[in-house]
Amino acid sequence: MDAIPRKPLRILIPLIGADGDISALHVAAEMAPRDAEFFLLHARSGPDEERYPDFKRASETERFERGIESERIFARANAILASRGLISAGQLASQGDPAEIILRVANQMEAELIVLAASGPRRVIDHAACSVLVAERGRRGQAGEGLKET
């Protein structure tokens, strides 16, 4: 009898470019099954240009600098995943209210788990439609406290 095919676990890892990102990445890599799909999200604070298209747009230089910052953050995150033999399935940079962005992206991608740095927005823990694992700062490869099952 054939086994029922299983969908890979979809994990969203929000990043801000801080040291807490490292803990979240290590915890996610340690606890996830080998076939998990990791999605990286750089959620920047600032005007949400997607939600408010009439808001004054950033200059070309500002957009370029933000893009470089996101690429630097993604490169560091991908290096950590690669050190564990893993790769990200996707990367997205977005600007607005970080908690709103994380919740919106998690819903759009049908994430089953969000691995959040301890410094992440509390609103994500309270309102996520999926489980949220909070990685304690400085932890590498050991699940932190704060698993919320929904």
pLDDT one-digit tens code per residue, 104-123: 999 999 999 999 999 889 99
Q: What is the pLDDT of residue 102?
A: 97
pTM: 0.84
Q: Which residues contact 71 (CB under 8 A, 6 or more apart)?
A: none
Residue 130: left if φ>0, alpha if ψ -120 to 50, beta else—which one? beta
Q: Is residue 141 part of a domain?
A: no
CATH number, domain with residue 65: 3.40.50.620
The stretch 132-140 carries a mean pLDDT of 78
Q: Is residue 18 part of a domain?
A: yes
CA distance 100 to 91: 17
pLDDT one-digit tens code per residue, 50-74: 777 666 666 888 888 989 999 999 9
Domain count, the chain: 1
How far from 74 is each of 50, 85, 99, 107, 127, CA to CA, in Å? 21, 16, 19, 21, 26
The stretch 84-101 carries a mean pLDDT of 94
Q: Is residue 150 part of a domain?
A: no
